[in-house]
Each structure stands twice: as structure tokens, then as C-alpha cells.
């Protein structure tokens, strides 16, 4: 009885909140001088920390429960505050929490603007898939099917590889006489590129210019990409040259050209493009630095890779795992094993967060050199720390299968049951097929039975695999 009474009282207090919250959400608030770089007031930080902590990999409803608890305490909330949370959660790809937050404020009486509905549409597509996003879009009243929501759905189709659907949607937009803006033109050009119609990128670019809409870095990126797709390198270079005369060129356009030069083995031209990257990039941004590391490695230029690495380290106070990851990948590509070991040891002595991607690069490097004992020592160490992941399983299983040591590969698979704990893991169909092929060719009934037990323990034995296992019995004359 007491528990029921408490619950009723809690609901009574919550029921007062929607109108109050809806009223507050309607009140725009100016950002104060005390806001941080995220636009957060100091008083907003405690709640953000709570919802950020439960915004990924948790059951649905946790974020809403945190927000309800905040209201139970009669603490204030505003539209500016909640939407700042949504932006920050989205920035860190905590899409489930951001979507739940938008659902929560709408359920409590807030009217979402077309811009907020577009954000919600994008989040639905990322969390629940494109079909759910379509259903949400078509459920909106006509007045809410704005340029922003149409543009967002175009982008969703592009992200899900459904260019044809995006192009169909654009035809509907034209029928409704919705005038495209820069964002729509950019997304339309990207859809044509993904649909394998690069020539339509050019005509869309001309339409954009005739409409008096100025192009941006995304427009030019897709335009140059379309010329490259059509093997018209001269036209791509001409666009870049013309752009250099009238506006600052974004570094990503130079890396786009460098990538293409590398594919064509025009390494001299690639190096010139990468020098241009260094001249125009924002030195405080990490992305161009790691891109330079990777592309110089693809050029086979060890000297430039090491120079960029030293410059990167002197620019940033702390080297992030991402930087070490790309540098180690670059050194492995260059087959500079000595430097790779040195950088790996540097990471081991300085990292703040363990990263199995970095560990797996070192494992691959040891296996490449036939240093199996070293690779196994790392594997055993990570297992002892409970940090094993599916990448490690696949690296070792495939290595031993390549060496025809199927028993060792099966032992690795057996370890996965207890060691890959982040989520339920199952081996890929390709990996399963490699095991089955060996057992069939060697007519190894005892081996395939052990493999069968391993698949059962991983809870991934399906009918197709079982039929393939039976084939080994047939070939061995054990039917």
C-alpha cells in the first residue's frame, strides 16, 4: 500500500510538469557569458553528465527516467538546455539518448520546429533504420513536411545506400514546388554520385549556379569526385585551379586529389597535393594530421610519415589513441617494424584508455614477421585482463587457418565464448566456411564434431551450417 501511495504521489507531481515544461520550452533564452564551449550554463552540467552516462548501450527509457527524476526534484529545465544536450549527445554519436530526449520533450507538450523534426528524423534513421524514418516522415502533418525534413530524408536515403529512393523523393519535392537550397543541391549531387550517374552531378551543379546559390566545399568535393569517376582528371584539376583563384580551398579537396593520384601511381603529384594540405589546414584540427599520415604511407614515403608524426606530437599536448592507431597502421604499411615497435611501446607507457584496435595492429605485425610467441604473449595478456575482442579472435583464427593449423584456430574460437563479453559474438560465415572446407577436404570427422560443439557453445549453429557439417560425414563414409 505504501509503495502504491508513493507511486501515485510521484505521478501527481509529474503530471504538473508538462504544462510548466511546455511553457518553459517556448521561452527562448540568450546564452550567457558564463556558458562553456558547448553552450552549457554551469547549472546544466550535472544533469548532462547523468544522461550522457546512460545514453548508449542501455535499455530504452533510462534517459527519460533521469529526466523525470530531475523534474521530481522541482529543478528547472529549458528548451535551450535540452536541445544543447541533444546536440552534444549527437556529436558523440550517443544517438539513442539524443532521440529519447527529443521523444521525452515532445511527449511533455513541447512543439518541435521543422529543424528539430529533421534532427529527430535523422536520429530515427540511425537508431531504428530507414523504414522507421520513412514512417515518421510520412506521419508528419503536411505543414511539417518542410524543406528541412525533406532534405534530411534525402540524406538518410544516401547514408543507407538507397540513392534511387532519394531521387524519387526529389521528384516529389519538385512536384510540390519545394525550392531547393544549398543543402538539398549538395545532397542531390551526392545521391547522383552514389547512383552511378556522375554526369547528372555536373548538370545539378549548373542548376545550382543558375539559381544564384553559391557552392561550398561539399559542392566542390562532389563535383571533383564526379570528374574523377568519369576518368576526367584534367577537368578535376581545372576545377581545383579555378577555385584556388577565387576562394580558400578546403584541405579535403587536396586529399581527394591526392587519393586519386595514389591510385594512378602518380606519387609526385600526390606529394604536391599533400604539401598543399599542410598549407591550408587548421593545425589545431586532428583530422587532417592523421589523413596526412595515412596518405604519405600510401605513397611509400617513410620520411614524410615520421616528419608529420613529430609535427603532430609537438602540436597537441596529448596524443590520442586515434593518432597512435593511424601512425601504427602507416608504419605497418611501410613495413617499418623497428619504428612500429618503438611507437607501440611509447603508447603503452602513455595511454589513458586501453584500445584493442592498437593491440591488434601489433599482433598482426608480429604474425606478419612469424613472431608467433610474441603475438600469443599479447593475446594471453589481454585475456588475463579481460580485454579480448572479436578482432583478436579473427586475426588469430585466420592466421592459423592460413598455416593449416586448424586445431590452433579452433582453440582460438573456443576462447571467444568466455572472452568476448561486450556482446554476443558469432563468427562470420566466411570464417565458418574456411573451417568446414578444411574438414571436408581432410574428411576429418573428429575435427568437425569438435567444431560443431564449438558453434553450439557460441549459439550460432544454423541449419545451413549443420547441412555443411553433414557433408564431411558423407565424404568420410560415415552416413
**Domain-by-domain residue ranges, the chain?**
1-111
Give, in degrees to the nearest 5, the angle at Cα 107 between 106 and 112: 10
d(CA 410, CA 49): 43
pLDDT in tens, 137-196: 999 988 889 999 999 999 999 989 898 999 999 999 999 999 999 999 999 999 999 889
d(CA 356, CA 387): 7
Q: Is it the case that residue 20 has pLDDT exceeding 70?
A: no
Q: pLDDT at position 26, please?
A: 37
Q: Is it the case that residue 257 has pLDDT exceeding 70?
A: yes
Please give the sequence-ordered ranges of beta strands (E in DSSP) within 171-325, or none if there are none.
none
Q: What SS3 class is residue 348? A: helix
d(CA 121, CA 131): 11
Q: Is it the case that residue 321 has pLDDT exceeding 90?
A: yes
What is the full DSSP assignment across 432-446? HHHHHHHHHHHT-HH
pTM of the model: 0.74
pLDDT in tens, 264-313: 999 999 999 999 999 999 999 999 999 999 999 999 999 999 999 999 99
Amino acid at each position: 500500500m505504501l509503495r502504491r501511495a508513493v507511486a501515485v504521489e510521484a505521478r501527481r507531481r509529474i503530471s504538473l510538469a508538462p504544462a510548466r515544461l511546455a511553457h518553459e520550452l517556448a521561452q527562448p533564452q540568450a546564452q550567457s557569458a558564463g556558458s562553456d564551449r558547448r553552450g552549457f550554463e554551469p547549472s546544466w552540467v550535472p544533469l548532462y553528465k547523468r544522461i550522457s552516462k546512460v545514453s548508449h548501450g542501455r535499455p530504452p527509457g533510462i534517459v527519460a527516467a533521469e529526466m523525470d527524476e530531475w523534474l521530481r526534484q522541482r529543478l528547472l529545465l529549458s528548451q535551450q538546455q535540452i536541445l544543447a544536450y541533444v546536440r552534444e549527445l549527437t556529436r558523440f554519436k550517443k544517438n539513442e539518448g539524443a532521440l529519447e530526449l527529443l521523444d521525452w520533450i515532445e511527449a511533455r507538450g513541447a512543439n518541435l520546429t521543422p529543424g528539430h523534426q529533421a534532427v529527430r528524423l535523422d536520429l530515427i534513421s540511425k537508431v531504428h533504420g530507414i523504414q522507421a524514418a520513412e514512417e515518421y516522415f510520412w506521419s508528419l502533418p503536411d505543414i511539417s513536411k518542410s524543406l528541412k525534413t525533406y532534405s534530411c530524408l534525402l540524406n538518410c536515403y544516401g547514408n543507407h545506400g538507397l540513392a534511387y529512393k532519394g531521387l524519387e523523393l526529389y521528384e516529389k519535392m519538385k512536384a510540390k514546388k519545394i525550392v531547393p537550397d544549398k543543402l538539398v543541391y549538395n545532397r542531390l549531387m551526392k545521391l547522383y554520385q552514389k547512383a552511378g550517374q556522375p554526369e547528372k552531378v555536373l548538370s545539378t551543379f549548373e542548376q545550382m549556379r543558375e539559381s544564384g546559390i553559391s557552392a561550398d566545399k561539399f559542392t566542390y568535393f562532389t563535383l571533383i569526385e564526379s570528374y574523377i569517376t568519369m576518368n576526367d582528371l584534367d577537368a578535376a584539376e581545372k576545377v581545383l585551379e579555378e577555385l584556388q583563384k577565387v576562394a580558400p580551398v578546403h584541405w579535403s579537396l587536396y586529399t581527394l586529389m591526392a587519393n586519386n593520384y595514389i591510385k594512378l601511381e602518380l606519387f609526385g603529384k600526390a606529394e604536391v597535393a599533400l604539401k598543399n594540405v599542410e598549407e591550408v589546414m587548421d593545425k589545431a584540427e586532428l583530422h587532417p594530421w592523421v589523413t596526412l599520415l595515412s596518405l604519405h604511407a600510401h605513397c611509400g614515403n617513410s620520411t614524410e610519415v615520421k616528419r608529420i608524426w613529430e609535427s603532430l606530437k609537438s602540436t597537441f599536448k596529448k596524443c590520442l589513441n586515434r593518432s597512435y592507431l593511424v601512425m601504427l597502421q602507416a608504419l605497418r604499411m611501410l613495413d617499418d617494424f623497428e619504428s612500429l615497435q618503438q611507437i607501440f611501446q611509447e603508447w603503452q607507457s602513455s595511454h589513458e584508455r586501453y584500445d584493442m584496435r592498437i593491440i591488434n595492429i601489433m599482433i598482426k605485425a608480429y604474425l606478419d614477421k612469424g613472431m608467433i610467441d610474441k603475438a600469443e604473449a599479447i593475446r594471453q595478456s589481454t585475456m588475463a585482463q579481460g580485454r579480448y575482442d572479436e578482432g583478436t579472435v579473427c586475426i588469430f583464427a585466420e592466421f592459423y587457418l592460413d598455416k593449416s593449423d586448424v586445431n590452433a584456430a579452433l582453440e582460438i574460437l573456443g576462447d571467444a565464448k568466455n572472452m568476448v563479453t561486450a556482446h554476443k559474438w558469432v563468427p562470420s560465415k566466411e570464417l565458418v566456411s574456411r573451417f568446414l572446407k578444411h574438414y571436408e577436404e581432410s574428411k576429418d570427422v573428429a575435427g568437425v564434431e569438435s567444431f560443431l560443439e564449438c558453434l553450439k557453445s557460441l549459439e550460432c549453429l544454423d541449419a545451413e551450417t549443420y547441412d555443411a557439417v553433414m557433408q564431411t560425414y558423407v565424404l568420410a563414409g560415415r552416413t
